């Protein structure tokens, strides 16, 4: 997979690209991440990327030209036909986008090429939305000062789903959201920490009973913390009944 990130603050991505997952993905030739400065696609002396909004109002708006030129440069480099949705997903990070989820991360992890565009200031010229991007993603119902942190969240969630990026010890098969349930409680040594003991079942060595306990805990946790997730979780009819008993209407 190739991920191009368009931003006004490329230095913000240095630390995340140096973390184990991204480094490993790069070393194994599984993912290539290229961060580009939108300012490099301007042509005036001041390298202007924003301007006042037509119609007045507070703040500045990102101009369309440098963003279009940056995307077009990437598409030319990679020999992709402009706007071919099958081949490249051009994503604008914006609070107005579809809400990011594990499902969307899984969908995007199947793509060969993503372009993530980080918005800033008061917004991005509407023509970028209308005529350039083919997807818009929000990471939640709050406003960030820019799309950079959102792009990091999205890239991280996607890259770790690409086969062979995670080591076997970091498997995501059982982690929160993968089965539609939150993850069961985890413990490590010591077995007694300040008088708080690890549940005995986990020390029993009985793998069948441990798996059963973990499943129950995951259902209980989801029912008490995120009952909204239960509707779409993969549960047996017995588990469904069990969960309904746990999920009180006041939750
Ligand atoms: N840019 C500003 N806020 C955002 C959000 N919540 N999600 C994605 N991009 C953003």
123 CB within 6 A, ligand 1: no
- What was the pLDDT predicted at 178? 72
pLDDT above 90: residue 160: yes
Distance of CA 82 from the midpoint of ligand 1 (Å): 25
Least confident of 108-117, 168-177, 185-194: 168-177
φ, ψ of residue 61 in degrees (nearest 5)? -120, 140
Distance of CA 91 from the midpoint of ligand 1 (Å): 12
Q: Domains in the chain, start-ordered, CATH in brackets?
A: 2-159 (3.40.1280.10), 192-245 (1.10.1270.20)
Using DSSP, state whether 28 is helix, strand or coil: coil
Distance of CA 187 from the midpoint of ligand 1 (Å): 34
Q: Number of C-alpha atoms within 13 angstroms, CB side, residue 219?
A: 22
- What was the pLDDT predicted at 251? 42
- What was the pLDDT predicted at 82? 52
Atom 10 (ligand 1): residue with closest C-alpha? 94
C-alpha distance from residue 222 to each of 114, 172, 174, 181, 251 (Å): 32, 18, 14, 6, 11
> In the chain, what percentage of residues exceed pLDDT 90?
82
DSSP assignment letter at 248: -
Angstrom distance (rounded) from CA 246 to CA 131: 48
pLDDT above 50: residue 113: yes
What mean pLDDT value characterizes the chain? 92
Distance of CA 116 from the midpoint of ligand 1 (Å): 12
Q: What is the average pLDDT across 150-168?
A: 93
Least confident of 65-74, 75-84, 180-189, 240-249: 75-84
Atom 2 (ligand 1): residue with closest C-alpha? 144
Atom 9 (ligand 1): residue with closest C-alpha? 94
pLDDT above 50: residue 166: yes
116 CB within 6 A, ligand 1: no
> In the chain, what percentage of residues exceed pLDDT 70?
93
pLDDT tens per residue across span 66-107: 999 999 999 999 876 555 556 899 999 999 999 999 999 999
Pick the atom of ligand 1 nearest to 142's CA: 6
Q: Number of C-alpha atoms within 13 angstroms, CB side, residue 17?
A: 16
138 CB within 6 A, ligand 1: yes
Least confident of 28-37, 141-150, 164-173, 230-239: 164-173
pLDDT tens per residue across span 31-40: 999 999 999 9
- What was the pLDDT predicted at 204? 98
Angstrom distance (rounded) from CA 105 to CA 102: 5
pLDDT above 80: residue 60: yes
Atom 4 (ligand 1): residue with closest C-alpha? 95
Distance of CA 24 from the midpoint of ligand 1 (Å): 27
Distance of CA 74 from the midpoint of ligand 1 (Å): 23
């Amino acid at each position: 997979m190739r991920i191009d990130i368009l931003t006004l603050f490329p230095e913000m991505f240095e630390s995340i690209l140096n973390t184990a997952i991204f480094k490993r993905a790069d070393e194994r030739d599984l993912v290539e991440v290229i961060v580009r400065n939108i300012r490099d696609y301007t042509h005036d002396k001041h390298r202007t990327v924003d301007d006042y909004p037509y119609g007045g109002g507070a703040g500045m708006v990102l101009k369309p030209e440098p963003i279009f030129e940056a995307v077009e440069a990437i598409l030319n480099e990679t020999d992709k036909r402009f706007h071919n949705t099958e081949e490249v997903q051009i994503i604008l990070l914006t609070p107005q986008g579809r809400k990011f989820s594990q499902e969307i991360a899984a969908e995007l992890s199947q793509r060969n090429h993503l372009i993530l565009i980080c918005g800033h200031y008061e917004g991005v010229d509407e023509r970028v939305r209308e005529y350039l991007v083919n997807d818009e993603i929000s990471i939640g119902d709050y406003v960030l000062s820019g799309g950079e942190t959102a792009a990091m969240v999205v890239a991280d969630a996607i890259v770790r789903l690409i086969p062979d990026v995670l080591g076997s010890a970091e498997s995501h098969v059982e982690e929160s959201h993968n089965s539609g349930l939150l993850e069961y409680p985890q413990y490590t040594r010591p077995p007694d920490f300040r008088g708080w003991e690890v549940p005995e079942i986990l020390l029993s060595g009985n793998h069948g009973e441990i798996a059963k306990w973990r499943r129950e805990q995951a259902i209980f946790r989801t029912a008490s913390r995120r009952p909204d997730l239960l509707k779409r979780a993969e549960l047996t009819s017995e588990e469904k009944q069990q969960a309904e008993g746990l999920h009180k209407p006041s939750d």
